[in-house]
Homo-oligomer: A and B are copies of this chain.
Amino acid sequence: MFSKACEYGIKASIFIAINSYEGRRVSPKEISKEIDSPQAFTAKILQDLVRHNIINSVKGAYGGFEIDKDKIASTKLSQIVNAIDGDKVYNHCGLGLHTCDENHPCPVHDKFKTIRAELKDMLENTNLEELALDIKSGLTFLKI
């Protein structure tokens, strides 16, 4: 469904959010340990998220990655997915036709678009805050 890069990006963002609530910046090393991902690869993805203005980075001693506290609740899953995987999850034809077009539909278009729309809806209506809170309260997990 999502690329590995996107999976790592989502999990990293959640972990950063949790720590930002406590005013703590985190490093790629901590993050990759906590979400069980390759460190250098994760660092690349973090750079990408910084460029897309989803997280902040602070260089130098006592630096690390963080998210503005008041931005956590308004950051949608869709923004992260879009930053890393682009818009293909939303727009790509299920059978790979060049464009998903209502006037030139592939055989699964009608059935597929419903599911794709629900996925889109889900991603656009899920924010980092709720995901972070569930982790904090031990309801959900970031690894294994």
Q: What is A's interface to B at a CB cutoff of 8 Å?
A: 1-2, 4, 7-8, 10-11, 14, 77, 89, 92, 94-98, 104-109, 111-112, 114-115, 118-119, 122, 126, 131, 134-135, 139-144
Contact = CB atoms under 8 A, between A and B. Distances in A.
A75 to B, nearest CB: 13
19 contacts: A1-B92, A7-B96, A8-B96, A10-B108, A77-B108, A95-B142, A97-B143, A97-B144, A104-B141, A105-B139, A107-B131, A107-B134, A108-B131, A111-B122, A111-B126, A114-B118, A115-B115, A115-B119, A115-B122
Nearest to A93: B7
Given A115-B122, A119-B115, A94 B2 contact: yes
Contact of A1 (B14, B94, B142): B94
B144 A107 contact: no
Contacts of A112: 122
Rank and list the top 7 A-B pairs by shortest CB-CB distance, nearest first.
A7-B96, A107-B131, A107-B140, A7-B95, A111-B122, A105-B140, A115-B119
